[in-house]
Amino acid sequence: MKNKKWLAILTIAISGLLLLSACSSTSKKSEEKTASKQEKDTFTYAISSDPSSLNPINVSDRWGLTVANMIYSPLVRVNADGSTTNELAESVEPAKDGLSVTVKLRSDIKWSDGEPLTADDVVFTYEQKVKKENGNADSLWVGDKPIRFEKVDTHTVKFILPSVSSAALNNIATETYIIPKHIFKDVKDFSVSELDPDPVGTGPYKLTKYKRGEYLSFEANDSYYGGKANIKKVVLQIVENTDTTKVALKKGEIDASYVLPSDISELKDSDITTYAYSENRVGYMGLNANSTKLKDQKVRQAIFYAINKDDLNKAAYLSTKYYDNAYSILPPNNPYATEDVEKYKTNTKKAKQLLQEAGVSDLKINLAFTASDDAQSLQATLIQQQLQKVGITVELAGGDGTAIYTELQKADSTKYDLFLGGYIMGNDPDLYSALFKSTGSANYFHYQSEKTDQLFDQGAQELDDAKRKEIYADLQKQIADDAIFYPIVDNKKILAVRNTIGNVKKAGLVPIYTFEDLSKLTIK
Amino acid sequence: MTTSKYIGKRILQVIPLLLIISFIVFFMIHLAPYDVIDSITTPNMSKETVALMKAKYGLDQPFIIQYGKWLLNILHGDFGYSVVSQHSISNELATRIPNTIKLILPSYFTALVLAIVLGLFAGANKGKRIDRWIDGICSIGISMPTFWFAMLVIYILGYYLNIFPIIGMHTIGSENSFRDFLRHFFMPYFVLTVAFFPDLTRYVRSSTLSQLSEDYVLVQKSFGASKREIFTHHISRNVLLPIITQIGLALPMLVTGAIITESIFGWPGIGPFFLSATKSLDYPIIMAILLLSATLVILGNLLSDVLYAIVDPRIRKEGSR
């Protein structure tokens, strides 16, 4: 009798479960119809976290910039190969003396609320950005003096430099997203992460709703100067877990996401196309010049000769489709990059010989890397094996990336001898001075070289492009000879997109922002 | 009355405890080799900008002053703002905690009912095949990592059979549809129920077994009571008593009970919020959530003591004697 009761409970439970799934699957059918209707006009892109700022004045993280690039537009855009495209600007003319730039705006551009774009908006934007307290002013200062902005007429703005700076001249019109003065003129504090009145922009999309931790939804901006977007709605869906993202992508709950090279084989047979493109990143192994064990240049060179770059990259990024070997501080696609530097082709004999010349035996050093980064962890173990072959013992010191770099930034840090890292700095070679100049804010290497400092100064002030290229070629050679920085890779970013989405290449795959112009995408 | 005095005394004891906990946690965050500003700076920010940002959040001040400032704000009922996103933490918690509760409460309740039924059943049939089966299922459940089981459920129910949507709490655009909510709700609910019930089942089973060996059972048996009568009238009541303690202790789970499951399903609860804050050492968020869950732990203990006294007259009488 007791067993019967048990059986009854079990039956009820199971039938309840079946009912639930049945009801949900019927509801699914009806909803699928509506869903497929919706899918036709919505592009869903998975992002891994909330954007840390939606304010174009201070935004600096990947997803924040992605959003800024959808809502707003810069004066001029830098393409992946270093060339530029005018967006809001009609023309950009640097003065011959190198002390000012005159930007003429297109006169046909309207904000998404119908107001015309004027020079006032541009001056307003730059005047907010140049304030140090807003946290994003560095590119608008030359030395310790700010750049000034002047409205010439309704559609012309003049940027006035305090002293000659080729770097500022080339970069002033790029990477700053123009905000409307008539909307934000009453905002007191521009260091916040969300500006108060709802954003009005000149970009292809308008933000319609932001649910923190869930999604951001956008609608096409009818007055976009590049032509109305093909896809009516875009959703940036926040999914933290990469495994969930993969399944959702295969299923079609999301249409696009970044994936790792190791994920590609898994996605191959489904309705997904992967696109690999360079983000102009340089992945590297750095040497800490503070370390007493690495004081001798011969020891440093011996380490470089012992490493096999091809093996490292094949192991971490699987196929040359997904990476390029890097040989200089500049990424291979950079217009100033040169391969005419000491490449340290793998040569264990030479490495051993150099160690002998330096009188070093039984060298024991450590190697710091970000433990949660699979590529770095793999490369660290390989470097350990490769250096073992020439008699150098490497102790692996995996840890938290931020903690490692905070430690390395301390002026007298000697905790780590070698470390793995990577950076995306941009196109102008002067931007790299932050890493390699003695006083650079991100000089993790504690690299001090008068010659390099001088070359950076010369390069920043040189107005003739051909001469500038020469200076930076010398600079790259110098750093390679000093053997403080071992470039490993320009690994490509891989975007997986469902086949229902078309024109991916036309929308332009660019570093950080993913799509240069989302309005060009199409949907089936 | 003595009970209210007792409760009042216990609540007063909470205050120094929270002070100590908050101090220790704050100190440990301070010991970390970097701070929240380090986690959001990029190589192209100048040292000056970074210093400016640190000064803005008082991170350049000595530890004790930072703690004092934070404490002062808390005493004003102000959780402060996230350093990374600059959003009000109170607002964020007010939208996220209900989402977490919506998930945890039904799962925990289901797990509890399941555990009581299975536990009593297993206890009554000790050593028989059904007992071994239940015990085996519980062992599997306990040793199975939640994230792995969650991925399995996502793959089978969400992708292969394509019954349920995978991400989030709602389909965008149908936020008010309850049916849509249920479809999103089912998989994380199922995973959490499976995560919660094995422990509880074992608990119920073992307390059933200990009740079975009590003298009153023997007495009832000798009076000729059937096994069923003994179970429904006597054992089940005594088994339910310690369960009340369990419910009190489960109170903090309402905030931090589903951190991993939530981030796997993209459920907009406390989990993903807490995880990303911990990663970037966004200390005002970490402090707010820890304070909240510490308070709930203490209150939960208190609640279970009080409930126990209310339910079990024996304890009440001994207390007033």
| pLDDT of res. B83 | 85
B254 pLDDT above the threshold of 90: no
**Could you tell me the pTM of the whole model?**
0.85
B95 pLDDT above the threshold of 50: yes
- Rounded to the nearest 10 degrees, the angle between the axes of helix B129-143 and helix B178-212 is 120
Q: Are A26 and B141 in contact (CB under 8 A)?
A: no
Residue B2 lies in a domain: no
> Tokens 């299922």 correspond to what residue?
B137
Determine the structural domain holding residue B252 and report its residue range.
Answer: 100-271
The first and second tokens of residue A292, run together, are 């007493």
Residue B94 lies in a domain: no
Mean pLDDT in each 10-residue stretch from start to end of chain A (524 residues)?
49 49 43 47 92 88 93 88 86 88 92 93 94 84 89 94 84 88 90 85 93 92 91 93 92 93 84 92 95 93 95 93 94 91 94 93 93 93 95 93 89 93 90 91 92 93 90 96 95 94 90 90 90
Residue B128 lies in a domain: yes
| pLDDT of res. B213 | 85
B chain contacts of residue A251, beta-carbon cutoff 8 Å: 158-159, 162, 166
The residue that leads in pLDDT, B240 or A371, is A371
The residue that leads in pLDDT, A444 or B221, is A444
Enumerate the H helices of chain B as residue ranges. 2-31, 36-40, 47-56, 63-75, 89-124, 129-143, 146-153, 178-212, 215-222, 227-229, 236-249, 253-256, 259-265, 270-279, 283-311, 313-320
Closest approach of A116 to chain B, Cα-based (Å): 31
Residue B32 lies in a domain: no
Backbone angles phi, psi at B174, to 5 degrees: -120, 50
Number of domains in chain B: 1
Residue B5 lies in a domain: no
Query: What is d(CA A383, CA A307) in angstroms, rounded to the nearest whole number?
Result: 7
Q: Are A467 and A228 in contact (CB under 8 A)?
A: no
Q: Are B92 and B80 in contact (CB under 8 A)?
A: no
Quick count: other Cβ atoms within 10 Å of Cβ A242?
14
Q: Which of A297, A302, A73, A303 is nearest to A176 (CA)?
A: A73
CB contact under 8 A, B166 and A441: no
Residue B207 lies in a domain: yes
Convert the pLDDT of each residue in A137-181 to its tens digit.
888 888 789 999 999 999 999 999 998 888 887 778 888 999 999
Query: Reduced to 3 states, what is the DSSP secondary structure of residue A6?
Result: helix
As a whole number, mean pLDDT of residues B308-317 equals 72
Query: What is d(CA A472, CA A460) in angstroms, rounded to the nearest whole number?
Result: 10
Q: Which residues on neighbouring strands pair with residue A273, listed in sequence order?
A: A497
Pairing verdict, β A233-238 and A42-47:
parallel
CA separation (Å) from A515 to A77, A88, A257? 12, 18, 12
CA separation (Å) from B125 to A8, B128, B230? 18, 6, 14
Residue B294 lies in a domain: no
B319 pLDDT above the threshold of 60: no
Residue B52 lies in a domain: no
CB contact under 8 A, A27 and B183: yes
Q: Chain B contact for A235, CB < 8 A?
A: yes
CA separation (Å) from B102 to B23, B245, B257? 31, 22, 12
Query: Reduced to 3 states, what is the DSSP secondary structure of residue A150?
Result: strand
Q: Chain A contact for B133, CB < 8 A?
A: no
Q: Chain A contact for B85, CB < 8 A?
A: yes
Query: What is d(CA B263, CA B270) in angstroms, rounded to the nearest whole number?
Result: 9
**CATH number, residue B252:** 1.10.3720
Q: Chain B contact for A407, CB < 8 A?
A: yes
Q: What size, in residues, is chain B?
A: 321
Residue B269 makes CB contacts below 8 A (sequence gap 6+) with B96, B97, B99, B100, B103, B258, B262
Helix (H) or strand (E) run with residue A246 in it? helix A242-251
Cβ pairs bridging A and B (under 8 Å): 150
